[in-house]
């Protein structure tokens, strides 16, 4: 009688330093290289996995139970569905259980397959997270082969040629390819998403990898939104006669995307129209105003990041997803740092003195607070209302410090 043998691993995660982790495969079959990061959110895994800002990354969830509420078509954040998902892979602690939620339409494993996302379970995610915190975000390759027979030469070759995110423009891979209109408003229980019928307020959103819920928040404020590709010129944007310009979130190195985005943003600033940027849009605005950006050690990825508004002294609990940051010391005179991370003091917001131009590093639409930061959308639209001579709306948001 032979002894019991452990079933062979059906998934691998190999880091650039040679660290090899074995587990059980889920989702798509194959292999993909990316930068390995960790996300501390306890909820919203489907939104994370469809956030274009994660393009080029393998996401490790620190919360062990991912997939227990299944997946559906309402919680997808990707605007350009042709791009499917920029996420290269997902790393989990526990096996995916059957979904237990009335909104679940399918199991997460099947959903991952459809979106061509490779996953691995059974990993000590606490140890992996500790390694990233100590040594920074490594390049890695994730592989899934149900037979357990891996072509490791091919897998390691893909890891070897992956360049890393520094110097990489990924906005072009996830942006909308055509100009489009957006009128969907926020989700309501037992009603679903609404529609904005009529509005005198018009915002052009430059899509560097925009999230749907950001666009919904703009529509909730009464703005009809025109979405343009990341490569749209200032002339093409202004031809839509916008009242304001929104610079969206997105993936990759802002300095690389900035090669074509910054000259456009500079021309838009010169018009005097209100400008609002989020995440990559914040970084690109910082570059256009004369600042610089830098790669972060471990980045900020999660839904529990405290941010202080230096203009009011109030604190917001925010959602963040970025591996680059604006260097506060690089901001020239006339640019005010408005928000900082209370985790590490890094820049989390800026504004142009005397002009309706501002941005934040975090995601005010993601609602971890839950609505601590929604005042920013009101502020942006109030700048537009002021220029059009329309009555402004009261801001509401963060609790007192």
* Span 129-170, pLDDT tens digits: 999 999 999 999 999 999 999 999 999 999 999 999 999 999
Residues 138 and 180 in one domain: no
On whether residue 48 sits in a domain, the answer given is: yes
Active site residue 365: yes
Share above pLDDT 90 across residues of the chain, in percent, rounded to a whole number: 92
Domain identity same for 319 and 213 = yes
To the nearest 5 percent, what fractions of the chain are helix, strand and coil? 25, 30, 45
279 carries an active-site annotation = yes
Segment holding 277, helix H or strand E = strand 275-278
Residue 394 lies in a domain: no
Which long-range contacts link 333-336 to residues 24+ away (Cβ below 8 Å)? 335/289, 335/290, 335/291, 336/311
DSSP letter for each residue of 325-386: EE-GGG--TTEEEEEEETTT--EEEEEETTSSEEEESSBGGG-SSSSTTTHHHHHHHHHHHH
Cβ(173)–Cβ(43) under 8 Å? Answer: no
Tokens standing for residue 252: 């990759």
Which stretch of DSSP H or E encloses residue 72? Answer: none
| CA 350 to chain CA mean position, Å | 19
- pLDDT for 188 equals 92
Q: What is the pLDDT of residues 30-53, one digit of tens each?
A: 999 999 999 999 999 999 999 999
Active site residue 173: no
Confidence tier at 354 by pLDDT (50, 70, 90) = very high
Looking at residue 212, what is its pLDDT? 96
Do 157 and 175 fall within a single domain? Answer: no
Enumerate the β-bridge partners of residue 195. Answer: 184
Tally Cβ neighbours within 10 Å of residue 25: 23
- 188 plus 148 within the same structural domain: no
Find the domain containing 330 and state its range: 171-388
The active-site residue, picked from 322, 363, 374, 383, is: 363
Is the residue at 103 inside a domain?
yes
Distance of CA 111 to the CA centre of its chain: 20
Tell me: do 109 and 193 sit in the same domain: no
């Amino acid at each position: 009688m032979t002894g019991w043998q452990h079933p062979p691993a059906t998934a691998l995660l190999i880091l650039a330093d040679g660290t090899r982790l074995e587990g059980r495969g889920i989702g798509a079959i194959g292999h993909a290289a990316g930068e390995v990061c960790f996300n501390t959110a306890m909820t919203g895994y489907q939104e994370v996995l469809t956030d274009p800002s994660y393009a080029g990354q393998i996401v490790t969830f620190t919360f062990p139970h991912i997939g227990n509420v299944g997946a559906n078509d309402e919680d997808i954040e990707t605007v350009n569905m042709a791009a499917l998902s920029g996420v290269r892979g997902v790393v989990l602690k526990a096996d995916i259980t059957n979904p237990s939620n009335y909104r679940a339409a399918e199991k997460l494993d099947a959903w991952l397959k459809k979106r061509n996302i490779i996953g691995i379970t059974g990993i000590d995610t606490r140890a992996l997270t500790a390694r990233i915190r100590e040594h920074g975000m490594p390049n890695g390759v994730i592989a899934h082969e149900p037979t357990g027979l891996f072509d490791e030469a091919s897998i390691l070759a893909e890891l070897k040629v992956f360049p890393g995110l520094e110097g990489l423009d990924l906005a072009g891979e996830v942006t909308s390819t055509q100009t489009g209109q957006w009128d969907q408003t926020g989700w309501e229980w037992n009603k679903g998403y609404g529609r904005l019928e009529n509005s005198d307020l018009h915002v052009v959103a430059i899509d560097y990898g925009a999230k749907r819920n950001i666009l919904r928040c703009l529509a909730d404020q009464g703005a009809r939104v025109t979405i343009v590709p990341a490569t749209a010129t200032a002339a093409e944007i202004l031809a839509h006669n916008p009242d304001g310009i929104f610079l969206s979130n997105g993936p990759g190195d802002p300095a690389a995307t900035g090669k074509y985005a910054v000259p456009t943003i500079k021309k838009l600033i010169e018009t005097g129209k209100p400008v609002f940027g989020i995440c990559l849009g914040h970084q690109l605005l910082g570059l256009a105003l004369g600042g610089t950006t830098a790669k972060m050690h471990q980045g900020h990825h999660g839904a529990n990041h405290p941010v202080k508004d230096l203009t009011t002294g109030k604190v917001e609990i925010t959602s963040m997803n970025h591996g680059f940051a604006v260097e506060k010391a690089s901001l020239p005179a006339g640019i005010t740092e408005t928000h900082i991370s209370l985790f590490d003091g890094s820049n989390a917001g800026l504004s142009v003195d005397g002009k309706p131009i501002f941005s934040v590093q975090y995601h005010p639409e993601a609602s971890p607070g839950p609505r601590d930061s929604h005042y920013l959308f009101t502020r942006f639209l109030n700048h537009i209302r002021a220029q059009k001579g329309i009555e402004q709306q009261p801001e509401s948001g963060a609790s007192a410090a």
